[in-house]
Every structure is written in structure tokens, then in C-alpha cells.
Amino acid sequence: MTGAARSALTLAVLAALVLAAAVWGWAAFTEPLPEEEPVAICEDTTLPAGSEVRRDQVVVSIFNGSKRSGLAGATSAQLTERGFVEGTVGDSPLPAATTQIWSSDPTNPAVVLVQKQFKRAQVVEGDALGPGVVVVVGEKFQSLKKKQVESVVAEADATWCRATGSE
């Protein structure tokens, strides 16, 4: 094989490699980015009797049942400062005069822990408007209790939505 033929063959092979790399690069460049799957804020966990539930394990969703603008957001911020995990914040579908915790199990340790943060909060039957413990703050709500309760001990086996990533 002559030198000119060898050079031509080498250039042809290199051109084919460059073309293949360009096609592969363009395909990779125009491919959509992978979408991240949303991580659940909490997971249902069964807790045996005698176990402790701490604030950093409890997700609290706050809904405004009053006519005061921003009440749910302000209350959620106060609970977050105390160590609770913020859930959904929004307006309640129903007006409320007092603070209500919507739960079908008033003895659930997560519900009890949240209830101890509020003055005169009542546990009532209600829908799960958001993740975790659902609180509807009403017209008469003024502030959280000054005394912060850090944890409670489960008196019976219970299932609750434990904050993802908490120990």
C-alpha cells in the first residue's frame, strides 16, 4: 500500500470516527434530563407501646380556618422553629372557631405531641388534608403554649406518618 493510499484510508477512518462521535454526542445532548422522583415527606410507621415520639419525627400540616390572612403560615413557622417538620400549609375548606386537630385517633402519640403545643386544641374527626398531623387554626387562636413539649411516650401501639429521614 502506497503512502498516499494509507493516508487517505487513515483520514477516512478518522472522519468516520468523528462522524460517529458527533452523532452520539448530539443524541446525548438532546436527550431529556432524568426527572427526580419526589421523596415522600413521611412514611407510615408502626410504633410499639412505650416508644418515644420526638418533634423532629412529626410532620404537621397547618390550615387556616379563620379570616386572618397568613395565620397558617405563621403557625407553621412557629412549629418548625420548635423542631416539627413542615407539611402542607393552606386554607381550610371549613371555617373554625377554635383550634382543631383532625384525626380519627386522639390517643396517637404524634397527635398528642402536637396537641400539647396548643392551648385548648380539640381533636375532632376530619379528612387528611395534608401529610402528617392536620391542624386547623381557628378565629380564637392566639399563640402556641409557652412551654414546649419535646416528646411523648406511646401508651399503646400506634401507626403514624413518621418524617422521612428522622431517626
Give the structural domain span for 16: 1-35
Mean pLDDT of the chain: 90
* Percentage of residues in the chain having pLDDT higher than 70: 99
Domain count, the chain: 2
61 and 125: one domain? yes
- Residues 68 and 130 both lie in one domain: yes
pTM for the full model?
0.75
Cell of 97: 372557631
Is 135 in the same domain as 151?
Answer: yes
pLDDT at 76: 95
CA 146 to chain centre: 26
> How do residues 43-54 score in pLDDT, each as one tens digit?
998 989 999 999
Could you report the per-residue pLDDT of 94-149, keeping only the tens digit for each?
Answer: 899 999 999 988 899 999 999 999 998 999 988 788 899 999 999 999 889 998 89
Q: Which string of b and e fits 63-95 if b means at least 16 CB within 10 Å?
A: bbbbeeeebbeebbeebeeeebbbbbbeebeee
